[in-house]
Amino acid sequence: MRITPVNIVYGGDEFLASQTVRDMRQSARSAMPDAEIAQLDAKDASAADFLQAISPTLLAPRTIVLVSNLQDADPALADRIVDYTKRAFADPEAAECILICRHEGGQKGKGLVDRMRKAGAYRCEVPDLKKPQARVNFVVQRFESLGRRIDIRAAQQLAAVMGRYPGELYAMCEQLCSDFDDDPMSLERVNEYMTGDPQTTGFEVADLALAGNVPLAIVKMRSAVEQGTDPLAIVGALAMKMRALAKAAAVNSGSITEAETGMPDWQLRRARGQLRGWTGPGMSTCFEALAVVDQACKSNGGDPVYSLERAIEYIGTKGRALA
């Protein structure tokens, strides 16, 4: 973790930002083990509070100061922070304080960030993980930070299943590296590790169905349901894959642009590569079959497992009726 006399953790996902602040504090602690740690909230801290926090004491000649909500600093506090940044970078070796500031991103307080950067402060950009590709990039970078590599398909799988939970995704990358020596980490290993996750099971069933391996897809589906997986979780994965195919077909026909799909490049490329042999009526048949499963799962009007089996058969044959 890079650490300088003045650091700004800027924007991004809140969990990742908090983790970055913790990592920076650890690095600062390693560089200055005798330092005292002070915490300020720029929402209510004054310029005097800041000057007191960065000043050495009899018990601690050096300090590590954590400033939260930098975007809310008043003008007087902002000026003191910029003044300290200028002094610290004028003679970094003599700096007696390491300053770590958290800014939530956006335009508020951006002028202060720009002034601090001009004075030499290091700004660490935190990813927001709102877009699928950003989640994949995060997984790849997390493995790199752990000294390992991961197959891009495995990174995509991790991001798809756990991308909505950055904390769990962060921990999962570390756990995989701790439990397995694979380098790069493979898709098979990731699926094996997450076999208890219903969404992972659904993706595996969907991939098998789209590949035309209907028997194995049905075996996997029935095994998962017998072990307690809700059929709706598998329906969701199948529907997501079918929607991706429909969007890819619409792009190929010129009905929509690639940007309008809202899909990351890798996902769109994969879907377009799976379109061979599909027709519009065939896709409609599959969506209708999935609707039947959804209705069976949410009512007492049918056998959801049987309906799911039929939907898998339709998807595996590109919507053609089976004998």
CATH architecture of 132-193: Orthogonal Bundle (1.10)
CATH architecture of 198-316: Up-down Bundle (1.20)
Report which of residues 129 and 109 the model is more confident about: 109
Q: Which CATH superfamily is domain 6-125 in?
A: P-loop containing nucleotide triphosphate hydrolases (3.40.50.300)
State the average pLDDT for the chain. 86
- pTM for this prediction: 0.58
Phi–psi pair at 37, nearest 5 degrees: -105, 130
The mean pLDDT value for 71-79 works out to: 94
Give percent of the chain above pLDDT 90. Answer: 35
Question: In this predicted model, what pLDDT tens digit does every residue of 145-157 receive, in sequence order?
Answer: 889 999 998 998 8
The mean pLDDT value for 284-304 works out to: 84
What are the extents of the domains in the chain? Answer: 6-125, 132-193, 198-316
The mean pLDDT value for 167-182 works out to: 84
- Confidence band (pLDDT; 50, 70, 90) for 323? very low
